[in-house]
Amino acid sequence: MIISFGGSIGSGKSGVARSLAQKLGWPYYDMGDIRRKLAAERGMTLEELNILGESDPKTDTEVDEYQEKLGKEQDNFVISGRTSWHFIPHSLKIFLKVDPLIGAERVFKSLAGRNEADGLDSVETVLAANQRRVESDRLRYKKYFNIDVYDESHYDHVVDTSHITQNEAFERVCAIIEAINNKHL
């Protein structure tokens, strides 16, 4: 089984996905971390890489080809990325959503070392940067793949993490996986 996570900025995708992979003893792949590293290698922030990606599809295709290859060659792993559901269509697709302001508050608290964007010195600036990021994501993925990565109908399960802790979100996801496994016994 491959479990892919998508979702809103600040919803807890990476943390929940990483915890699930640890619990299952499976590899975990984080496309956001890979994109941040690609940005850093180019001397850019993630926001700058996304803007470049609006005219240069290579900023996305490197990561997308990588995850597509993973989906064809491996099994039993967890992956988080906005396009993972699309490039690994046979995965169990989970979308974590969060109120944008709550997501911005969470991101603001965890900015150290994230290479998101310049000038993120308040929750308000993070919220504005997150909104720009969503617009850029929608533009790029519509342009290159004709998909909307924020459309919840692409996912098998949706969990709203706005008013729950990351541990509670993790427990809800575990309950989903357990129910699926029990159904297949």
CA distances from residue 181 to 6, 50, 54, 84 in whole angstroms, order as listed: 21, 37, 40, 21
Instruction: Name the average pLDDT for the chain.
Output: 90
Task: Note the pLDDT tens digit of each residue in 18-38.
Answer: 999 999 999 999 998 888 888
74-83, 103-112, 155-164: which range is least confident on average? 103-112
pTM listed for this prediction: 0.87
Q: Looking at residue 169, what is its pLDDT? A: 97
In this prediction, residue 113 has a pLDDT band, given cuts at 50, 70 and 90, of: low
More confident residue, 101 or 118: 101
Q: Where are the beta strands (DSSP E) in the chain?
A: 2-7, 28-30, 77-80, 92-97, 157-160
CATH class of the domain whose range is 2-183? alpha beta
What's the confidence (pLDDT) of residue 60? 81
